[in-house]
Every structure is written in structure tokens, then in C-alpha cells.
Structure 1
Amino acid sequence: MPTNIFKLDSNKRFVDQEKLGHNRWHPEIPPVATVKPGDSFRVDCREWFDGAIKNDDSAQDILDAPLLTVHTLSGPFRVEGAQPGDLLIVDILDVGPIPQEDSGPLAGQGWGYTGIFAKRNGGSFLTDQFPDAYKAVWDFSGQTATSRHVPGVSFTGIIHPGLMGTAPSAGLLATWNNREGALIATDPDRVPPLALPPEAEHAILGGLARDQWARVGSEAARTAPPRENGGNQDIKNFTKGSRVFYPVFVDGANLSVGDLHFSQGDGEITFCGAIEMGGFIDLRVDLIKGGMETYGVSENAIFMPGNVEPQYSEWLAFSGTSVTLDGEQKYLDSHLSYQRACLHAIDYLTKFGYSPEQAYLLLGAAPIEGRLSGVVDIPNSCSTVYLPTAIFDVDLRPSSSGPAQIDPGIGAPRANA
């Protein structure tokens, strides 16, 4: 096993660990450890809400989820010799739940969770149709996930980090803040907001001197979106065996990682759509000197997907076009067409006995595939969502006998507003 250079104690909060990580992006956050090109190492990762979400039959914790505190990132890790303009090579050697702990109070100790976020606290991809908070808890058996809240399905998780990236330079950070601030200014009172500005009160800034936290926290970028440094990309195929090439913007690259997922559908459509967990990740790093210019990778990482994903051979696919639920025609709106495809899949699953919320949670957590299927045929973009039929206990295919009915069980817990 590679040497663990960032150990976490499951009995302690993120801020009480021996080595302190961070939950913001800023070039002044100092590295917690240094590695060399060619090194392999292990990193423990805390679940993104640091234990705020419980293994129970209530969704109040999702309703009140502390979004200002996320993400609990491990790092930064300095890579010896890395300089701005290089490409940092990161190989994911292994990734999994909290090792040697198959039961316990933390997500990753034999279980994980998916949440539909309330519109007033983050929202979701389908927030207008699903404005309330719901939760599903998933149990792990090896790499298989099942849920008492979404019965009648089991699937193999594509375990992956939702978030990994390098530190921004001061100039890049300013670019982020300027462009996102300009977007917020177009509709500053929107719910949910258009973007998340810097917020110092809940910032965790690693080993930075505490007398600098207020200043740096007021500048540091929130970790919620993906950006040029990689960040919170939430790519389900970013799993064991993947190789990623990250742009380097600061000396040492300062790599950070976190937000581990047991499984996820394309798009992570419920916002907390993956099966969230804590765990470990084994990495190997290397450098391509001057690689950003050599390969034209000046913004956003490129990667080679891992080769250990589940092999599903039969799918039932649903399509959507860029027409609103009210019948308004939009021009080649792929975001809207994917929403409509997801809503069609949800409607279909309700014919088998699932509630709309159970179906929505399932699409966020199971390894569905989302695709842009047509983006040139004016005025309608076409998107599709593929459901692997083998994950269901009943035959999902349409037939003359009609849809088989599942027992919806206790259902997905809904929070009281």
C-alpha cells in the first residue's frame, strides 16, 4: 500500500485533524506535504459535509445542509519541480470507501447518501419540479449499492473523486471572481443564486497563518463549480485507472482532492446526486515540463477514463428536446433538452410504482449515461438519458402485459420545510 501522507481520524471533525485541509481555492494556502514526480501515495478524504448527513429516515439534514462549509478537501500537495506552464500527470491507482470500516456513523463506513437539495438551499438540476429536500441512504456490499429508500434496484458503483485540481494563480483567481461576480450582478436576488461569491466566515485555509484567514477568505474561491484548474467536475468515469493532465498555475502545482462518490449518474442531477462518502484515494504524479503550451491545454484538464467501470449491455433510453414544459420553443438549448429527457425517464419509472422523488434520486445515484445526441438541427437540441436495465429487479422494457409493480417501501424521506 502506498504511504498515507494525509491521514484522517474518523472520530474527529475535519478541523480537528492532525493535518488540516481546506475548503476554498487560493494560491496562498500552503502545501501540507511534498511529493516528487514518480511518487505514489495515499490520501484519506472526508465526506464533503464532514459528517453532517446521517444514516436515518429523515431529510432534515439535507434541508439544513451547511453549504458554506464545503468541500472538505485533502491537501494541497506540492509536487517537487512543478512550475506554471507544466502539465501535472495524476494517475488514480485506487479509490474506495473508508478502509476496514464497514459500519459506522460516517458516510463511507458501509453506506452513503444521495440528496435532492431544496430550492432555497442550493437547488438541483430539476429544482422547479422538485423544490423540496429529500434523501436516500445507500448500503454498500462490496461494490454493490442498494437502498431501503429506493427499493427494487442494485448496481455496481463507479467509485471516483468528484473533485480534484491544482491551485489557481493570483491572476486566475481574480479572473474567476470578476467573471462570477459579474454574473451574480445580473440577478443578485436569484434563488438559487447564479454563482457563489467568496465567503470568509466558514473558510478553512489549511496551514495558512490564522491572522491571514479573514483577508484570504474574502478572496478565496468557493469549490462548488469546475473551473480551469479542474475542481468539482463530478465526472463518473473519473475512476480507478484514470490518468489526468492538469494545468499548473503555481510553483509546486498544489494538488488537492476530495468529494468521493461511490456511484453517480451523468450530470449528478440532484446536486447531491452522487452517493457521497468518505474514503481513500491512491495517486501517482508526474510532470510534463512546458506541457500546457506543447499540447494546448491552457484551461481545463484532460483525462483518460479508467477501465474498471461496470459493463452493462442493455439500456432503455429516453430523449428530450429544447421545448419547455409550457410548450415554449427554445433554440438548441441542450441544458433544457437534458432536463426534459430526465423528466421523461422519471415519468416512466413512476408507472412501475416509484414516486417521482425516488426516480429522481435513482437517476442521480445510479450509473446512468447522459448524452448530447443532436446539437445542430434547429431549433431543437436533442439529449438522451440511458438507464441500464439490469439494475432493476423488474423488467423495465415496455410490453403488452404492462409495467410490473415494485413495492416502493418506506419511500424517500422528505424534509419539513
Structure 2
Amino acid sequence: MPEVLFPLDSAKRFADQQLVGHNRWHPDIPAVVTVRPGQSFRVHCREWFDGEIHNDDSATDVRDAPLSIVHALSGPFAVQGAEPGDLLVVDILDLGPIPQEDSGPLAGQGWGYTGIFARQNGGGFLTDYFPDAYKAVWDFSGQTATSRHIPGVSFTGMTHPGLMGTAPSAALLEKWNRREAAVRASDPDRVPPLSLPPLPQDAILGSLTGAEFDRVAAEAARTAPPRENGGNQDIKNMTKGSRVFYPVYVPGANLSVGDLHFSQGDGEITFCGAIEMGGFIDLHVDLIKGGMDTYGVAENTIILPGNIPPQYSRWLAFSGISVSTDGEQRYLDSQLAFQRACLHAIDYLTKFGYSPEQAYLILGAAPIEGRFSGVVDIPNSCATVYLPTEIFDFDVRPSADGPTRINSGGGAPTAKF
């Protein structure tokens, strides 16, 4: 096992650990550990809400989840010799739930959760159709996830880090804040908001204190979206065996990681669409000197996905086009087409006895494939959602006999504002 360079005590809050991570992006957050090119090491990660979501049959914790505290990121890890313009090469050697702990109060201790977030608290891809909070708790058995809140479904997880990235430069941070403020200003009263401004409340900034803490907290970017540094990309195929190439913007690169997922469908469409967990990740780092210019990587990441995805071979694919549910034609709107494909899949699954919310949670957590299938045939884009049929305990294919009706149990817990 690689040396643990960022340990976490499950009995303590994230801010009370021996080494304190962070939940904002800023170039002046000090590195907690320095590693060398060619080094392998283990990092413990807390699930993104630091224990605020519980293994129970209530969704009040999802409804009231404090977005000001996310994401709990382990790091930053400085890499010796890394300079702006380099590419940081990160190999994901291994990852999984909290090691040696198969039961307990924290997500990752034998269980995880998926949440539909309420419109007033973040929303989701289909928040216009699902405005209230729902939750499903999943139990882990080896690589398999099952849920008492969604009967008849079990699948192999594609375990991956939802969030990993390097620190921004001061200039890049200023660019983020400027452009995200501009999009907020275009519709300042929108719920959910179009972007999240810097928020000193609940900021965790490693070892910073005093006036320097206050300055950085007022400038630092929230970790919710993906950006040029990688960040919260939520790429389900970035699993064990993957190699990721990150742009380096500051001396040392300052790599951080967190938001581990036991499984996820393409898009993480419910916002907390993955099966969230705490756990460990083993990383190996190296450098390509001057790699940003050499390979034309001025921004964002390049990924070589791992070669050990679940072996599903039978799929039911649902298509959608860029026409809204009220009949409005949109020009090549691939986002709308993907929404319509998701809604078609949800409608289909309700014919077997699932509630719409249970079906939505399945699409967020199970290893579905989402694809933009046609983006040139004016005026309609076409998007598709591929649902693996083998995850169900019954046949979900259309037939002359009609759909099997299952007992959907008590449904997914919900909580309304």
C-alpha cells in the first residue's frame, strides 16, 4: 500500500483533522504535503458534505444540505519542480470506500447516497420537473450497490473521483470570478442561481489564518463547477487505471482531490446524482515539462480512461430531440435533447412500477451512457441515454406481454420546503 500522506480520522470533522484540506479554489492556499515526480501515495477523502447526509429514511438532510461547505477536498499536494506551463500527469492507481470500515455513520462506511436536490438548494438537470428533495441510500457489497429505496436494481459501481484539479493562478481566478459574476448579473433573481459567488462563510483554507484567511476567503472560487483546471468534472470513466493530464498554473501545481463516487451515470443529472462516499485514492504523479505548449493544452484536461468498467453488454437506448415539452422548437439545442431523452427514460420506467423520482435516481446513480448522437441536422439535435438492462432483476425490454409490475416499496424519501 502506498504511504498515506493525507490521513483522515472518521471521528472528526474535516476542519478538525491533523492535516486540514480546503473547500475553495485559490492560488494562495498552502500545500499540505510536497511530493516528487514519480512518487505514489494514498489520500483519504471525506464525502463532499463532510457527514451531513445520513443513512436513514428521511430526505430533510438533502433538503437542508449546506452548500456553503462543499467540496471537502484533500490537499493541495505540491509537486517538486512543477512550473506554470507544465502538464501534471496523474495516474489513478486504486480507489474505494473508507478502508477497513464496512459500517458506520459516514458515507463510505459500507454505504453511500444519491440525492435529488431541491430547486431552492442547487436544483438539478431536471429541476423544472423535480423541484423537491429526494434521497436514496445504497449499500455496498464488494463492487455491487443495492438500495432499499429502489428495489429490483443492482449494479457494479464505476468508482471514481468526481473532483480533482490543480490550483488556478491569480489571473485565472480573476477570470473565473469576472465571467461568473457576469452570467449571474444577467438574471440575478434566478432560482437556482446561474453561478455561485465567492462566499467566506464556512470557507476552509488549509492552514491560513487571520487577515490572510479573510483576504483569500473573499476572493476564492467555489468548487461546484468544472473549470480550466479540471475541478468538478464528474467523469464516470475516470476510474481506476486512468491517466489524467492537468495544466499547471502555479509553482508546485497544487493538486487537490475529493468528491469520491461509488458509481454514477453520465451527467450526474440529479446534481447529487452519483453514489457519494468517502474513501481513499492512490495516486502516482509525474511531469511533462512545457507540456501545455507542446500538446496545445492551454486549458482543461486530457484523460486516458481506465480499462476496467463494468461489463454490461445489453442496453435500452432512449432518444430525445431539441423540442421542449410544450412544443417549442429550439435550434440544435443538445442540452434540451439530452433532457428529453432522460425524461423519456423516466416515463418508461414508471410503467414498471417505479415512481418518477426513483427512475430519476436510477439514471443519476447507475452507469448509464449519455451521448450527443446528432448535432448537425437542423433544426433538431438528437441525444440518447443508454440504460443497461442487466442492472434490473426483471426484464425491462418492451414485449407483447406488457411491462412487469414491481413493488416499488415505500419509494424514495422526500422533504419539501
**How high is the TM-score relative to the length of structure 2?**
1.00
Counterpart of 2:80? 80
Q: Distance in 1 between matches of 2:302 and 2:208?
A: 30
Question: Deviation per CA, 1:162-199, whole angstroms, max 9, x where unpaired?
Answer: 00000000000000000000110001110000000100
Letter in 1 for 2:195: A
Letter in 1 for 2:165: G
Letter in 1 for 2:359: A
Counterpart of 2:19? 19
Q: Distance in 1 between matches of 2:39 and 2:66?
A: 35
Counterpart of 1:393? 393
Q: Is the partner of 1:262 in helix, strand or coil? A: strand
Counterpart of 1:408? 408
Q: Distance in 1 between matches of 2:183 and 2:401?
A: 51
Letter in 2 for 1:64: D
Q: Is the partner of 1:384 in helix, strand or coil? A: strand
Shift of 1:161: 0.2
Counterpart of 2:7? 7
Q: Distance in 1 between matches of 2:28 and 2:155?
A: 42
Q: Distance in 2 between matches of 1:317 and 1:201?
A: 44
Question: Deviation per CA, 1:82-119, whole angstroms, max 9, x where unpaired?
Answer: 00000000000000000010000000000000000000
Counterpart of 2:290? 290
Give runs of aligned pairs for residues 163-182 of structure 1, distance below 5 A.
Answer: 163-182=163-182
Counterpart of 1:378? 378
Question: Deviation per CA, 1:278-304, whole angstroms, max 9, x where unpaired?
Answer: 000000000000000000001101110
Q: Is the partner of 2:412 in helix, strand or coil? A: coil
Counterpart of 1:302? 302
Shift of 1:311: 1.0
Shift of 1:122: 0.2
Give runs of aligned pairs for residues 144-163 of structure 1, distance below 5 A.
Answer: 144-163=144-163
Give runs of aligned pairs for residues 13-162 of structure 1, distance below 5 A.
Answer: 13-162=13-162
**Misfit runs of 4+, over 4 Å:** none
Shift of 1:157: 0.1
Shift of 1:416: 3.4
Counterpart of 2:353? 353
Unaligned runs of 5+ in 2: none
Q: Is the partner of 2:414 in helix, strand or coil? A: coil
Letter in 2 for 1:309: P
Counterpart of 2:245? 245
- CA RMSD, Structure 1 to Structure 2 (Å): 0.5
Counterpart of 1:217? 217
Letter in 2 for 1:352: F
Unaligned runs of 5+ in 1: none
Q: Distance in 2 between matches of 1:146 and 1:294?
A: 46
Letter in 2 for 1:70: V
Q: Distance in 1 between matches of 2:52 and 2:142?
A: 24
Q: Distance in 2 between matches of 1:6 and 1:32?
A: 8
Counterpart of 1:193? 193
Counterpart of 2:226? 226
Q: Distance in 1 between matches of 2:213 and 2:383?
A: 44
Q: Is the 8 A contact 1:82 1:252 kept in 2?
A: yes
**How high is the TM-score relative to the length of structure 1?**
1.00
Letter in 2 for 1:348: Y
Letter in 1 for 2:214: A
Q: Is the 8 A contact 1:201 1:214 kept in 2?
A: no
Q: Distance in 1 between matches of 2:219 and 2:54?
A: 32
Shift of 1:49: 0.2
Q: Is the partner of 2:138 in helix, strand or coil? A: strand
More moved, 41-50 vs 202-211: 202-211
Q: Is the partner of 2:346 in helix, strand or coil? A: helix
Shift of 1:213: 1.5
